[in-house]
Structure formats: structure tokens, C-alpha cells
Amino acid sequence: MRRARLLRDPGAAHTASRHSFFRDPSAFEVFRMPAAPQTAAFGAIDLGASSGRVIVGRVTPDGVGLAEVHRFPNRPVRVAGTLHWDALGLYAGILDGLRAAGTAAGRLTSVGIDSWGVDFGLVDASGALLGNPVHYRDARTEGVPDRVHATVPAADLYAATGIQHAAFNTVHQLVAARDTPQFAAARQAMLIPDLISFWLTGVAGTERTNASTTQLLDPASRDWAHAVTDALGIDPALFPPLRSPGDPAGFLLPEVLAETGLSGPVPVVAVGSHDTASAVAGVPADGGNFAYISSGTWSLVGLELDAPVRTEAARAANFTNELGVDGTIRYLRNITGLWLLQECLRQWQADGQDVALSDVLAEADRATPLRSLVDAGDDAFLAPGGMPRRIADACRRTGEPVPETRGAIVRCILDSLALAYRAAVADACRTADRTVDTVHIVGGGVQNELLCRLTADACGLPVVAGPVEAAALGNILVQARALGIVHGTLGDLRSLLRGTQHLRRYEPGDRRPWDAAAERLAALRAGVPAA
């Protein structure tokens, strides 16, 4: 069967990668374009779980300025029981955004793409997409981790890849998909930003920061974990060749230029294509003793390290070692973040309530602190739908006071998130043998002043909040360095942000109530009901 050949015959997959749709990026000249610093304009395509944006960044040796030129919805679609991403709808939004970028900037110096991790599109020998990519929140991976661990025990999988356990990891999605007709016809699997890059350029590649989320990559060698792929019968050649942030990824195709009205040539640069990799590159830290929280639908909480930590203690604490820009390691824990709040708002609005985020945050600020707590990382909160009821049910189940008003529910969410952040920072420092003196929050959560203040109190550390658009900034700075507009280390790039981006500092208050609340939450996680 073709499926078996693709999974187990390296020669078959090698041949597949040479089909006519694949263009060798080494055939492209190095693209250091003669753009003067004052005219350099970079396009950042930033795809999030609920929306996509195209942002134009103007970069000079003195700083970075941003302008969002187009935003479009990202609406997952359930068809015949399977939850999909609308890949073509996203691509249409990207083309509209590039057209708007050309209007705003006159000419784009280059383009970079970042998105969420783990999900992929299957592509046939002609380069055609074999159906819309399946959403990581789909139920197809239920029970699959147990099947994977029967072949590669969880401890061995972590020792090889350093990636935290999650049912939606790419390795589990591939095993779930391998018996489908689409997989049988596939010749390449392209992670979401790589699929978009392929459509824009005709060049196939797999960017390493996103590849590290698959649970199939060795974070030390930065190559595929062959012991894992061999054991599971997954040929790494299923993925296009690996490339790193700053590498050339091709040029916008003539038809893309015609569709968007852009003047060519416009190079595409591989950036930290996992949005968290770009967001961490956009952390305006001054020195290395910092923890970061990339706060959005998910909260990614951790440290930036020089080498992976793959100890049993790290695995037990559920920390992941994902690749970052310039050979760094994003040592972090993935927490269900503002998804809880977003889903509550969506449910209340669906129920006909006239509710705005600012209103419920004001109500939460007035609510009793630390009254009701839940485990924000509980898998029970992963699926969409009915979130206010599910939070109330979780409190009822553990003996916590049941929040009955919108303000009480939102305060429960934010207090619980701040405690999750506190635990993640403490566990990261403990397992990596590091200390930190500041917590940086970047991403959409920066705009939630109550959450930032609670995080400072919970962690007992100063919080520096900003920038909101850290992923776009990291994306753009990698492009600018690749094109020779700016130079230097990752620290040098970050120094450009500190003087040009709005940052707000929150000092911690009394930590004692949070110490007691953390003990209470630990008891709840251990199954000990509240007294």
C-alpha cells in the first residue's frame, strides 16, 4: 500500500520529495536586497487560533514601528464530526493582507510567516492539499497517546524529544491519520506556516522552531529524532527539508504578485514560524535572568535556555523543550490560557447577554479575591462550549465555592491563571536550576491589566507587560537581520524594542494570600476537597 511505503520506505519518501511541486531553496540567490534602513518595510503574517493578521513593520537601526493593515477571522469548521481549519479562507485573508500591506508600504522588503504549532496539511505528489488540516482540538487523538507509548514509552519519548505530553502533538495526529485515504495519497506533511509559505513561493520546507513542536525532533541535534521515527514507522522525509529562522524560503510567485499588486521580487524569510518562538524573540528583556509568559489563547510560561533539560524531573513537571531563535531553547509549560475567558464571553454572548470584555474585567476586579479556584490546565477545559457551566462544575466537584456571577467566574479564571503562572515559573527555575528576577508578559494578555497585576502578586516578582505584538515584532526583527537592515545577537535585536515599545511595570504586593491559595490549589489537584 502507498501508506506503508510512505511510512516505512525511506526511498519512497525521498522520491516523493523530488516531485515537480518541490523547488530546491538552494537554487535561490542569497537575498540581501539594497533597501535603505529608512525605507525597509517588512510584512509579518501572524496566524492565531481565532484570527489572522498582516502587519507591516518599519525597521531602522534605531527601532521598530508596527502598523496592522489587515485582520481576518480564523473560524474552525466542523464537518462530518471532524473539526478542521479553513486553510483556504486563511490564505485568502493573507492575500488580502499582503495587498493592503503593499498599499500601506509601497513596497515590501520581505515577508515572514508564523502560526500555532502541531497541525499540518497533507499534500499530494502534485502539491495539492488533500483536505483542510484537522484542528488540534479535534477528538481524533483520543486514546492515541497510549498506542504511541506502547511502542515508545513516555519516558523514552521525552528523553529523545524533550516535548511535554499533549494528546494533540503532531506525533499523535500522524498516528491517528495514518489509516485514512488522504494519508495514503500524501507525499508531504506541511506544518501550517510551511504550508502557507509553500503556497506563496512554491518552495517546500520545514522550519525548525515549529518542527520542534511535533514531538519528533531532537532539540540538541536540531534534527529528527530518528530512534523515535524509526520505532513508530514515520519516515522524516514525509516532512520537507528542515530550515532555520533567517534562512531563505523563496520568493513570492508571479501569480501571488499579480493577485496582491506587490512589486517583486519579494523574498520570503523563514522566521521563528512557531508564534511562540517569534513572541519570545520579541521579549524586550535586558539580560538573561527572566521568565516569560506568552499570553493569549494559550499561555506559554518558561525560561530561555542554551540547552534542553530532559531530566525525569522536567518530564514529571510537564515541561517542553522547543527550539527558539538563534539556537535557544524555549523551556516552557503550555497552559490553557485566556481560552477560558474567551469561551465564557462567547457563551454569554450566544446566550443573548450584552457583555463586553471591559465590563466583565471590571466586575472581576470588584469580586472577592481567591474565593474560587480551578486547575487552569485541566484537560476538562480543552474543548469548546459551555465554559461558565464547566468552571462551576469543576468548583462543585472539588468543594470550592461555586461562582455564580460573571464577575466571580472571571475572577476565578484570572486568580487560577495567576497561580498556574506562579507554579510554572517556580517549577521551571527548580528543574532548570535557574533563578529569575523579572517576569515578562507579552501577547494579548498584556492588555488585561488585572491579570498582569495578579501575576506579579502571585509570583512575588516584578512583571513587565508588553509588547502586545511580540510575535509580529520577533518575526519582523528576524527578517530585518536576514536582509542586513539590523545586525547582532538576539539581545541586540531585543534592545531595539525597549526604546520603541510601550511597556508597563507591575510591582508585587502581599504574597501571603497567594502562598495559602497555592497550597489550597495543590490539595485540590491531589484530590483533597476544600475544608
Cα–Cα distance measured from residue 342 to residue 47, given in angstroms and rounded to the nearest whole number: 17
β-bridge pairing 120-123 and 188-191: antiparallel
User: DSSP 3-state assignment of 378?
Assistant: coil
What grid cell was written down for 157?
Answer: 519519548
- Name every residue whose Cβ is closer than 8 Å to that of residue 273 and which is 6 or more positions away in sequence: 112, 113, 114, 115, 191, 193, 194, 197, 207, 209, 210, 245
Closest CA to 300 of 324, 316, 284: 324
> CA 60 from chain center: how many Å?
27
| Residue 433 appears among annotated catalytic residues | no
What grid cell was written down for 53?
Answer: 493578521
Give one DSSP letter per residue of 35-60, joined into a string.
--GGG-EEEEEEE-SSEEEEEEEEEE
Cα–Cα distance measured from residue 190 to residue 16, given in angstroms and rounded to the nearest whole number: 14
Cα–Cα distance measured from residue 334 to residue 116, given in angstroms and rounded to the nearest whole number: 12
- CB-based burial, 145-165: b 16+ in 10 Å, e otherwise: beebeeebeeeebbbbbbbbe
**What residue has cell string 516578582?**
461
Which is catalytic among the residues 194, 218, 275, 375? 275
- CB-based burial, 291-300: b 16+ in 10 Å, e otherwise: bbbbbbbbbb
Q: How far apart are the first and last CA of the chain?
A: 60
- Which sequence positions are flagged as catalytic? 275
